[in-house]
Amino acid sequence: MLLSNRITKLSYRSALFPFNLQLKNPTVIAKPISDFHYQTLAMPPSTSKIVAEYAKSNRSTCKRCSKTISANALRLGLVSRDSRGFDMTKWHHLDCFPFNQDTIDSVELAKGFDSLKSDDQEALKKAVGQCSKASGKVTDGDEVEVGGDLRASPKRYKVIQTNENGEREMQERNTKRTKLSVTSEDAKVTIALTVSDIKANYKDATLMPKWKAFQTIIFLEKDDGLHDSCKIAAFDFDGCLVKTSVKRIGADAWSLMYPSIPDKLQKLYKDGYKLVIFTNESNIERWKNKRQVAVDSKLGRLNNFIKHVKVPIQVFIACGYDNSSGHGEDPFRKPKTGMWHIMEKHFNSGIQIDMDKSFYVGDAAGRENDHSDADIKFAQAIGLKFYLPEEYLMA
């Protein structure tokens, strides 16, 4: 199929509107069709592939390095269109932008380029020039992947031929194994997320219905009534939403942190937020001889909590160790941002997250009596507003 839509336009303008009552020379309508000259014109793109602008605040986060983009700093947005026809913009620092993905033919075509300072225009031109030399173009016979997340797999195409106008004729290829990638920038490693790698077990422990595992993550696949959204209300679990104790295990070994929590969460859901829990639980990895007990206890508490508050919630559990354990640094364990990137890129239907309207609530803020500062650093690394439980849930 031809990916680039084209239209045929008559260069003789009046022939396009033969019924226009305002024509001063009606004999034009009777002009022989052979006298008309046909010209083929490309449809203009609906949006630029790249947006260049100065950040309006410090709320946006670079999609490559996961660091905050400072207010008034130059940022580049990679624009793509989701299956519903809406444009999504993923912001990057200039040095982090993936120019090698054939994103633009000329830097002057970037939306907002003319409004940049001359120094920034030159820096952008230089970056595009360097990457163009380092990367090759897609050629006939190459295979490419288009669109999708874990719940809508991308289709794979083979480039059959490229015509003189640069348009590529594609042939869809069937593929059973679709590789989706997300980069955990904090750990500077690439996390290959593959559909076939998602399991119904976590190592030797069987997971409850609707729960799945990927590497050192356990996640709730899709809670009934959950709607993906551009607004994310994210929470820690233990010590934030519920009171728990390391001395007690079991699905019922918890209590609400604050009585106001059900009403708070229900209001957020009604206001269009997607509720997400990001929680660390290294006991699942540590208790090798009692792993099933640890899994049943954690998942049971979360299931019972969701039933109690009567609102659908998406959940991600990082089961790996922290860096102090000597087992190596887990890219999903907070404060690392792997869980967030998995949610954002593969479990939010491709909807761009509004960082100004999203937030994270957690109790590990590095205060004198806090067990760690993992929650506040997690929020800072992503670029989310951060609240303590007593600030947000009791207000």
The pLDDT tens digits for 141-164 are: 444 444 444 444 444 444 444 444
> Is residue 205 assigned to a domain?
yes
> Is residue 197 assigned to a domain?
yes
Q: Does residue 105 sit in the same domain as residue 150?
A: no
What CATH number is given to the structural domain containing 120?
3.30.1740.10
Q: Does residue 117 sit in the same domain as residue 222?
A: no
> Is residue 1 assigned to a domain?
no
Q: Does residue 365 sit in the same domain as residue 337?
A: yes
> Is residue 164 assigned to a domain?
yes
Tens digits of residue pLDDT in 281-317: 988 988 888 999 999 999 999 999 999 999 999 999 9
Tens digits of residue pLDDT in 207-242: 999 999 999 999 997 778 899 999 999 999 999 999
pLDDT score for 334:
95
> Is residue 324 assigned to a domain?
yes
CA atoms within 13 A on the CB side of 81: 9
How many structural domains compose the chain? 4
Q: Which of 9-18, 43-52, 264-273, 318-327 has the lowest mean pLDDT?
A: 9-18
Angle (CA) 57 128 48, round 5°: 60
Q: Does residue 261 sit in the same domain as residue 356?
A: yes
Q: Does residue 200 sit in the same domain as residue 78?
A: no
What sign does the dihedral 63-268-318-348 (CA atoms) show? negative
Q: Which of 78, 103, 134 is the last residue of a domain?
A: 134
- pTM comes to 0.55
CA atoms within 13 A on the CB side of 107: 22
What CATH number is given to the structural domain containing 210?
3.40.50.1000
Nearest to 308 by CA among 274, 356, 269, 259: 259
Tens digits of residue pLDDT in 350-386: 899 999 999 999 999 999 889 899 999 999 999 999 9
Q: Does residue 196 sit in the same domain as residue 114?
A: no
pLDDT score for 164:
46
Nearest to 256 by CA among 268, 240, 267, 269: 240
> Is residue 152 assigned to a domain?
yes
Question: Can you count the helices (H) and strands (E) in the chain?
Answer: 7, 21
Q: What's the mean pLDDT when you consider all of the chain?
A: 75
> Is residue 111 assigned to a domain?
yes
> Is residue 196 assigned to a domain?
yes
Q: Does residue 38 sit in the same domain as residue 149?
A: no
Contact yes or no for 69/55 (Cβ under 8 A): yes
Model confidence band, residue 182 (pLDDT cutoffs 50, 70, 90): very low
Q: Does residue 163 sit in the same domain as residue 187?
A: no
Q: Does residue 233 sit in the same domain as residue 361?
A: yes
Q: Which residues pair with 289 in a beta bridge?
A: none
pLDDT score for 192:
66
Q: Does residue 82 sit in the same domain as residue 228?
A: no
Q: Which residue has the tokens 């830097």?
A: 107
Q: Does residue 265 sit in the same domain as residue 342?
A: yes
pLDDT score for 310:
96
Give the span between the Cα atoms of 243 and 193, in whole angstroms: 33
Q: Looking at this protein, which amino acid is placed at residue 278?
A: F
Q: Does residue 359 sit in the same domain as residue 388?
A: yes
**Residue range of the domain that includes 157:** 143-173
Q: Which of 71, 103, 134 is the last residue of a domain?
A: 134
Residues 6 or more apart whose Cβ sits within 8 Å of residue 132: 99
Tens digits of residue pLDDT in 348-358: 998 999 999 99
